[in-house]
Chain A
């Protein structure tokens, strides 16, 4: 019974990570790709970690701690990749809709503290 549960969690988590990989390949611009990479890997990791925590006899605390760190650092690194990509040249960050950030940066062009 326990094996079935851990197995299901592990496979589900792995599936999400695979889907994230497919998403990174299929989406056409950096931000869409990051949507796939950030969310699916976070929950995917959490599910695999949960399965591992149920399966092992010792070291559960470490696994759960790692999960907490993934949840804290994942979005933060995504934030900084996205922030840097917007300002870098030669990266495909095309948008279909509104671009409030572009309006903000255009308005503040030339001002220090960027």
Chain B
């Protein structure tokens, strides 16, 4: 099932790139997509979960943060540099799937003042470069907010249960 979804998705991308849903394009896309799906089977681990409402919330929050992040960078570029105190902070995650961890790592790099440098397993930990580490806990809280939103949108039940155990985020759960 997972493979079928990827096949359809890749074919759709192919057809869009050719601008025209002709028979030749669809067949060509199916062939290319088939080869890719057969050769690269890296996404087989775990089912793909999408909760539409939570996903919309994640997207809205992410887009807002992207705008905010640009304002922050713009301000830091123009204004004096006394706000900068760079550092690398380790932020443990609470056991989400590889796909969700990738999403979180990507989103961190596009949200204000943070950049993912390294991902470690066992325990799953992100190493985040931050422009402002005067408050390390604030940096960690920001990443965890992102984690909560991402896991609610795309995480499996085990990851969701993991969130509930944590005090720092439970106030957002209700």
Main secondary structure of the interface of A (DSSP, over half): helix
Contact between A39 and B110 (Cβ–Cβ < 8 Å)?
Answer: yes
How extensive is the interface on chain A, given as a class? Answer: 35 or more
Within 8 Å CB of A94, what residues of B? 86
Determine the distance from Cα of A23 to Cα of B79 in the docked complex, in whole angstroms: 11
Query: Distance in Å from the Cβ of A12 to the closest Cβ of chain B?
Result: 10
Find the residue from A16, A23, A65, A82 having the highest chain B CB count within 10 A: A82
Q: Of A16, A34, A65, A102, which is within 8 A of B74 by CB?
A: A16
Residues of A within 8 A of B89 (CB): 98, 100
What residues of chain B lie closer than 8 Å to A22, measured between beta carbons? Answer: 77
Q: Would you list which residues of chain B between 83 and 114 have a CB under 8 Å from chain A?
A: 84-90, 105-110, 113
* Bound Cα distance from A104 to B32, whole angstroms: 42
Q: Which of B41-49, B125-133, B143-151 contacts A (4 or more CB under 8 A)?
A: B125-133
- A35-B113, A75-B105 given. 10 additional CB < 8 A pairs? A16-B70, A36-B73, A39-B69, A65-B13, A75-B110, A79-B105, A79-B106, A95-B87, A96-B87, A98-B88
Q: Which 8 A-B pairs have the closest CB atoms?
A: A97-B87, A75-B109, A97-B133, A100-B90, A61-B16, A23-B77, A75-B106, A98-B87
